[in-house]
């Protein structure tokens, strides 16, 4: 089943590259280290789950079923999903699943953390701009939305319009629309990891379209190596690599969904205060954290806050690191990654 959902989140392995360095997955570990993978198309992206013991391969189908279940809850375009029903409720209270209510609450928490600079009710603006498919067709004749149309939507974009009471959710403004794209894949990755651990899996890699989450390390005990892609590079060149053991890496950037008009680039990371793409000198932000949900939300939060305020936020959080890429293609690391400062800058 191929549903298009989560329209403003990171897509199709865009920002992170998984490296199989030096044949590490296949050397020195015997047949037990041969990777077993399953892929599917969910959340408007290709997802891949990989395990490294033959006896663990049986759990892969269950992972895809879990993805299908979450798609049916969290898609905003799939009729009958929790979010679809909420967005079409006309302000009438809607009973949703426990997972959906929890994730809505977390989305509002990060919206508050950012001072409203990220907002789960930005969906109407995303529809108006329509960045869908831009990575595949940069020469499409896209139109910049009329200022009057943007201004007409802004009063309805406010996460405080989401009222949560247990599993009952009400949009207090009937014209408010919810999209959980900046947080949902991270949440789902965490749930997949929990499921794998409960089933005894000790080494696995979860890739939800570029949201990477490691279960343990490689079979030989060494970390996974994840490359951070050079923005706008068509050869998938990595600016730097980060080691990953039992942690998550998630990126947000301006270089996957965008279009150019009259020499100016318009990307999909929108400022809910102005209705226009954020302009702050950043090309991308990558977050390293234990929770993929938090990393997912923080990658967008830190990006929209900008290089100084965004880095200050990361430095204030425990067990969280970041790499910022500025428009000059320089890499800026949080203090916990200070050892990476010698990484090559182009």
pLDDT of 3: 38
- Asked if residue 300 belongs to a known ligand binding site, the reply is yes
Inside any domain, residue 92: yes
For residue 194, the domain's CATH number is: 3.10.520.10
Percentage of the chain with pLDDT > 70?
A: 86
Inside any domain, residue 35: yes
- Asked if residue 69 belongs to a known ligand binding site, the reply is no
Inside any domain, residue 268: no
Inside any domain, residue 7: no
- Which tens digit of pLDDT belongs to each residue from 92-150? 999 999 999 999 999 999 999 999 999 999 999 999 998 875 444 555 567 899 999 99
321, 287 contact by CB (below 8 A): yes
60's CB contacts (< 8 A; 6+ apart) are 36, 37, 38, 49, 51
Inside any domain, residue 207: yes
**Structural domains counted in the chain:** 1
pLDDT of 134: 45
Inside any domain, residue 227: yes
pLDDT of 340: 63
In three-state secondary structure terms, 231 is coil
Token duo for residue 307: 């290089």
- Which tens digit of pLDDT belongs to each residue from 164-207? 999 999 999 999 999 999 999 999 999 999 999 999 999 999 99
Q: Which domain holds residue 21?
A: 16-248
216, 197 contact by CB (below 8 A): no
Inside any domain, residue 336: no
The vertex-264 CA angle with 261 and 270, nearest 5°, equals 95
- Which tens digit of pLDDT belongs to each residue from 1-33? 433 333 333 433 444 555 443 333 333 344 556
Rounded to whole angstroms, the Cα distance separating 96 from 163 reads: 12
Q: In what order do the strands lie in the sheet with 168-171?
A: 94-95, 168-171, 162-165
């Amino acid at each position: 089943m191929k549903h298009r959902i989560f329209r403003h989140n990171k897509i199709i392995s865009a920002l992170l590259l998984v490296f199989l360095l030096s044949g590490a997955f296949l050397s020195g570990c015997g047949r037990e280290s041969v990777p077993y993978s399953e892929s599917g198309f969910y959340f408007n992206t290709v997802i891949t789950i990989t395990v490294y013991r033959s006896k663990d391969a049986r759990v892969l189908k269950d992972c895809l079923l879990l993805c299908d279940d979450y798609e049916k809850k969290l898609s905003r375009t799939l009729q009958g999903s929790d979010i679809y029903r909420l967005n079409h409720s006309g302000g009438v209270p809607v009973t949703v699943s426990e997972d959906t209510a929890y994730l809505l609450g977390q989305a509002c928490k990060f919206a508050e953390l950012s001072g409203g600079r990220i907002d789960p009710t930005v969906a109407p603006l995303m529809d108006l701009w329509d960045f869908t498919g831009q990575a595949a067709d940069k020469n499409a004749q896209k139109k910049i939305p009329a200022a009057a149309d943007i201004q007409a939507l802004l009063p309805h974009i406010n996460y405080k319009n989401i009222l949560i009471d247990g599993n009952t959710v009400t949009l207090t403004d009937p014209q408010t629309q919810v999209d959980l794209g900046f947080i949902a894949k991270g949440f789902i990755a965490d749930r997949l990891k929990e499921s794998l651990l409960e089933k005894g899996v000790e080494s696995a890699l979860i890739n939800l379209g570029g949201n990477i989450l490691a279960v343990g390390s490689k079979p030989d005990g060494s970390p996974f190596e994840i490359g951070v892609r050079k923005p706008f590079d068509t050869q998938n060149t990595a600016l730097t690599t980060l080691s990953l053991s039992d942690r998550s890496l998630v990126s947000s950037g301006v270089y996957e969904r965008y279009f150019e008009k009259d020499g100016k680039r318009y990307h999909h990371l929108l400022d809910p205060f102005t209705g226009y793409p954020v302009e702050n000198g950043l090309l991308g932000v990558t977050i390293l954290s234990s929770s993929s949900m938090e990393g997912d939300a923080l990658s967008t939060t830190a990006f929209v806050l900008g290089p100084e305020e965004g880095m200050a936020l990361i430095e204030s959080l425990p067990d969280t690191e970041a790499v910022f890429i500025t428009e000059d293609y320089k890499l800026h690391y949080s203090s916990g990654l200070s050892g990476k400062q010698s990484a090559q800058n182009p």
